[in-house]
Structure 1
Amino acid sequence: MTVAVTTTAPQQGALLPPPRRLPGRHSLRPPRMVQIDPVSVLTVFLITLLVLPARYIVGPLGGAGTPATVMAVLMLVWYALSTLSPRWTPLRGPQPLRHVILFFALALLAGYVAGTTRPLSADELNTADMALIQLAGWAGIALVTADGIAGMDRLEDIRHRLVIGAAFVASIGLIQFFTGIEPSRFLALPGLVENGASMLFEREDFFRPMGTATHPIEMGMVLAMVLPLALHGALYGPERMRRRRWIMVVLIAVAAPMSVSRSALLGLAVALIVLLPVWPPAWRLRALLITGIGVILMRLAVPGLIGTVLNLVTVIGEDDSTVARTDDYAEVVRAWAVRPFFGQGTGTYLPTIYRVLDNQYLLTLVEAGLVGLLALLALLCSGWMLARGARRASADPAARHLAQCLAASVAVAIFGFGTFDAFSFPMISNVLFLILGFCGALWRLQTRGEQPAPVARGIIPRL
C-alpha cells in the first residue's frame, strides 16, 4: 500500500521557529557598528600628552616614541581609513585646515626627499625618519579635531579637558619649583624608557620646573598657550563651576613665570594683548588690577623671582643667550644658500653635528628650505585666520570670545616659535596642532552650522 505524503507552504503570517544555527558555522548577519566619539579619543590623547611625562618613550621608536605621538599616528590612520567609504568619509564641505595641513606635510616631505639626495650620517637619517613619524601624528591630531567634533558642546568639553591637563602640568611644576622634588618620575608607564635627564634645571638659585614636559621653556610656553582657553572657561563657564575654573587659571598663570623663562613671560603678555581689546572696559580694568596685585603677591611670596624674570626681558640684546641667537644668523644664511628651496633635509640639522638653533623659523628654513618656511607660516597664520573668521561669523558672545581666545593661543605660538626650536619638543608641538584643530572645528561649526559626517563621530565596524 502506498501512502502519499504532501507538503504545503506555510501560510503568510504563520509563526515559524527560527532556523537552527549549526555548530561551527558563523552567522551571516552584517557586522554591528559601534560609535566612538572623537572627543573621547582626544581625551585619552590628552592624558598621554599632559599626564604622562614626555621624556618617557617607547624605546625602539626613539624621540618620536612618546605614547602621545604613537596615539596621534593611530588617529591619522583612523582618519585615513574613514575616507575610503563615501558614506562615512569626513571630507564633506569646505575645511581650509585640511589644505593647509596637506601643504605643510608635502613641504616637509619634499625637504625629507631633498635630504636623501646628499650623504647623510646615521644620526641624521634616524632623526629625519622620526620627523616623518611626528608629522603624521601632528596631521592626525589636527584633522580628527577639526572634522570630528560634532558640536559646540563637545568642543567645550575637550577645551575644558585641555585646561584640566594644563592645570595638572602647572601643579607638578609648582611642586618642583618649591621643593626641588621631581614627582613626574612616578607617573611613567611600565616598559617605557627615559629619554633625557630627570634632574631639574636651575637659574639664579631657583629651580626651573618643567612639569611633565621635557624642558622648562616648553612647560612655560604650553601654559601660556592654554591660559586664554582657561580664561574663557572661567568667564563663560557654568556659574556653579566658576570657582574651580578660576583656581585652574591661577595655577596656570602662576606656574608659567616660575619656569624662569622670558619666552613664557612674553607669551603671557602676547595673550593679554590679543584679549584685552575685545573685553569690556570693566574686564580690562579688573585684568590689569589682578595682574598688578598678582605680581606684588608673587614678589612677596617668592623674593627675587619677579626681578629675575624681568631682568631676563630687560637685557634682551645684551645677554649671552641673545648674542648667541644673533650669531646664528650668518651661519643660517650660509647653510640655507646651499639648498635654498627644499633645504638640507627635514630633521637633519642636529645640534651635535652643526649648532643649536633656538628659532623654529630659522631651523625650518635650513631643514626644509623656503618652501618649508612658507608652509610653516601658512600653518600658523591659518589658525589665526580661522579663529578670527569664526568670530566674525558668530553672533553668540561665548563663541565669539572662544574664537578670540583661540586666536590669542595661536598668537603665543607664532611668537614662541621665534624664541626656541618648538618642533623639537613633543608637548608644545602636539598642543599646537590640537589648538589648530580647535580653530578648524570652531570655524566649521560657526560658518556651516552642520554636524560632521558619521565617520567623523567615529563609526567603526565591530565584528
Structure 2
Amino acid sequence: MRGAPLRGDPVLADPLLPGARRRADGATLAALFALSLLIIPARLVLRGLPLSLTPANILSLLAGMCWLCAQFTTTLGVAKGRTPVRTALFCYAVALTATYGVASYGYLPSDELKLSDHALVLVMASVGIALAVCDGVRTPERLDFLLKTMVTGGAVIAVIGALQFMADFDLTQYLALPGLRFASEGGAVDMRDSMRRVAATTGHPIEFGVLCSMLLPLAVHYGFRGGRGALRWWLCAALIGMGLLFSVSRSAVLGVGVVGIILVLGWPVRRKVQALIVTAVFLAVAKLTFPGLLNTLYGLFANAGTDSSVQYRTHDYDVAATEVARHLWLGRGIGTWYAPKYQVFDNQYILTAVESGAVGVAVFVALFFCGIYSAVRARRLSVDPAPRDLGLTLAACLVVPLVGSATFDLLSFATVTGVAFLLIGASGALLRSAQREAAVRAWEDDHAERAPGRYGAADRAWSRLPWLPLPGRSPGRP
C-alpha cells in the first residue's frame, strides 16, 4: 500500500482518476453521434442544406471541430501525441484530400464535382469523429460507456429489423423528425428467395447485416464480463444476432464467421465451450422459430457458383481495370464514380482504386490495420482481464469491414462507415489507456525501490506520454 498522497504525485494529480469532477468529453459527443447514426434512418437528411447531410454527419463534424480546438489547450484532458491510429487517420485524410485536389484542379462535370465536394465533407466528418474518440475518451469507464451505447443502439435497430421481418411493418417511415427529409424513396424491406431481408434503419440489408456482425462481438464481450447485469447484454447479443439473420446477407455471415475464428483463437478454453453452447442454443431457437431462414442462408453459399449476385460482382473487373489504368496513383476523384451514370462496383477495394487510386487503397487498408494493431497492442500492455478481452474484441470487430469491403461498397453506406470509424477511434483510445496504465505501473514500481527525488527510466518513459503530468508537476504545466 502506498502512503499518504503528495501534492506532486502524478497519479493523484492526474485529472482522469476516479473521484475527479466528471464533465462532458469525447465519449459524450461520440455516444450522441452513435445514437443518431444508428436510430435515425440513414435516408433522412437535413432540410435546407446544399449537401445531403444527416444529423450524425453534423455531430461528427462538430466532434472534429471540438478535437481541433482542444489541441490548442492543455487543460481539457484531451490526449496529445502520436499514436498509430492518429497517424493512420492523418495519412488517410491527406491522401483523399490530395485525390480531391488533383481531380478538381482539372475539369470535372458539375454533377461529379458536387458529389466530390460532398465526399470530401464526409471524409473529414469520419476522421473527426475517430479523432474525437481516440483522444477524447480518457478512461476505460468512458470507453465502456461509448461501446455500451453502441451495443444498445444496435439492439434497438435489431428490434426495428425484427418488426420488418416478422410483421412487414416498417417503423422507419414514422421516424421522420422535424427538419429532416427523406433523401431517397423506397422501403427498408427486400426479398430474396421468397424470404424477407430487412435493412432496419440502414440503407441496405447487406449494410444491416455487416453492421450487426460488427456490434455482436461487443455485446458478447459485455455479456461475459457483465457480472450481475450480464443478462441485459446477452439480450442485446440475441437481438443483434437475430438482426444479422434477418438481413439474409452472405456478407454478414462471412463477417461473423471471421469474428468467431479470431475470438476462439484468443479466448480461454472455458469461454470457448460457453460460446459454443450459446451459439448452438441460439441457432436451435432460430431454426424452430423461423423455419427456412437458416436453409436460405446456407443456400447463399451452397449455390454461390450459380448465384446471379455473385456473377454480377465479378463481371465488372475489366471495366475497373481500364479505369484504374487511367488514374493509377490518385484515382479519378472521390465520389465521382456513381450510379446510374457509371457501372456499380459491389467491391469497396475496386471502387477505392477507381476513385482514389493505389494510394487510396493503401491508406484505406492501413487505417484498419492500425486500428487492429492498436487493439492487439493494448491487449499485450494490459494486465487487467477486462481491457485485454476488449482489445481482442475490437480487433475482431475491425476485421469485419476489411472482409465486407470485398463483397460490397462499404464506404457508400453511412451507418456502417460511421461505426467502423468509431471502432477505429475506440482502438486508439484503448491503446492510450493501456499505455497510461503501464506508465503508472512502471512509475510506482520504480519509485517504490529508490529514494524520493531521484529520477530514472520510468520518469523518462512517463515524459513521452504528453497527455499526462510529469512527476512533481501539476497538470497543464510544462
Band the TM-score falls in, shorter-chain normalisation: 0.7 to 0.9
In structure 1, the residue matched to 2:315 is: 327
1:385-405 Cα distance to aligned partner (Å, 9 max, x none): 111111111111111100000
CA distance 1:152–1:85, shift in 2 (3 Å): closer
Distance 2:33 2:294 in 1: 35
In structure 2, the residue matched to 1:347 is: 335
Alpha carbons 1:221, 1:256 under 8 Å: kept: yes
2:215 aligns with one of 211, 218, 226: 226
Correspondence 1:48 to 2:36: yes
Alpha carbons 2:52, 2:183 under 8 Å: kept: no
2:200 aligns with one of 184, 190, 211: 211
Distance 2:173 2:56 in 1: 17
Alpha carbons 1:90, 1:453 under 8 Å: kept: no
Matches within 5 A, 1:57-72: 57-61=45-49, 64-72=52-60
Specify the code of the residue in structure 2 equivalent to 1:334. Answer: T
Specify the code of the residue in structure 2 equivalent to 1:382. Answer: C
Correspondence 1:165 to 2:158: no
Alpha carbons 2:64, 2:125 under 8 Å: kept: yes
1:418 aligned counterpart, secondary structure? coil
2:371 aligns with one of 344, 361, 383: 383
Distance 1:241 1:292 in 2: 23
1:242 aligned counterpart, secondary structure? helix
CA distance 1:290–1:327, shift in 2 (3 Å): same
Specify the code of the residue in structure 2 equivalent to 1:289. Answer: I
Q: TM-score, normalised by structure 2?
A: 0.84
Misfit runs of 4+, over 6 Å:
none
Distance 1:363 1:416 in 2: 13
Of structures 1 and 2, the one scoring higher in RCO (CA 8 A, sep 6+) is: 1
Structure showing greater radius of gyration is: 1
Alpha carbons 1:53, 1:184 under 8 Å: kept: yes
Distance 2:324 2:276 in 1: 44
Distance 2:124 2:259 in 1: 29
1:9-68 Cα distance to aligned partner (Å, 9 max, x none): xxxxxxxxxxxxxxxxxxxxxxxxx95322222221122111111110013446740110
1:207-251 Cα distance to aligned partner (Å, 9 max, x none): 2111111111111111100111111110112x2211111101100
Q: TM-score, normalised by structure 1?
A: 0.87
Cα deviation for residue 204 of structure 1 reads 1.8
Correspondence 1:415 to 2:403: yes
In structure 2, the residue matched to 1:187 is: 175
Specify the code of the residue in structure 2 equivalent to 1:219. Answer: F
CA distance 1:108–1:283, shift in 2 (3 Å): same
Q: Which ranges in structure 1 are unaligned for 5 or more consecutive residues?
A: 1-33, 455-463
Correspondence 1:446 to 2:463: no
Alpha carbons 1:384, 1:407 under 8 Å: kept: yes
CA distance 1:63–1:430, shift in 2 (3 Å): farther
2:270 aligns with one of 269, 282, 291: 282
Alpha carbons 1:148, 1:452 under 8 Å: kept: no
In structure 2, the residue matched to 1:22 is: none
Matches within 5 A, 1:24-423: 35-61=23-49, 64-85=52-73, 90=78, 92-199=80-187, 200-237=189-226, 239-423=227-411
Cα deviation for residue 89 of structure 1 reads 8.2
Specify the code of the residue in structure 1 equivalent to 2:201. Answer: T
Alpha carbons 1:63, 1:195 under 8 Å: kept: no
2:429 aligned counterpart, secondary structure? helix
1:448 aligned counterpart, secondary structure? helix
Alpha carbons 2:81, 2:466 under 8 Å: kept: no
Q: Structure 1 vs Structure 2: percent identity of aligned residues? A: 35
1:256 aligned counterpart, secondary structure? helix
In structure 1, the residue matched to 2:444 is: none
Alpha carbons 2:46, 2:53 under 8 Å: kept: yes
1:425 aligns with one of 382, 394, 413: 413
Distance 1:231 1:292 in 2: 15
2:306 aligned counterpart, secondary structure? coil
Alpha carbons 2:30, 2:63 under 8 Å: kept: no
Q: Note the aligned Cα RMSD (angstroms).
A: 2.0
Alpha carbons 2:379, 2:392 under 8 Å: kept: yes
In structure 2, the residue matched to 1:7 is: none
Alpha carbons 2:35, 2:149 under 8 Å: kept: no
Alpha carbons 1:208, 1:258 under 8 Å: kept: yes
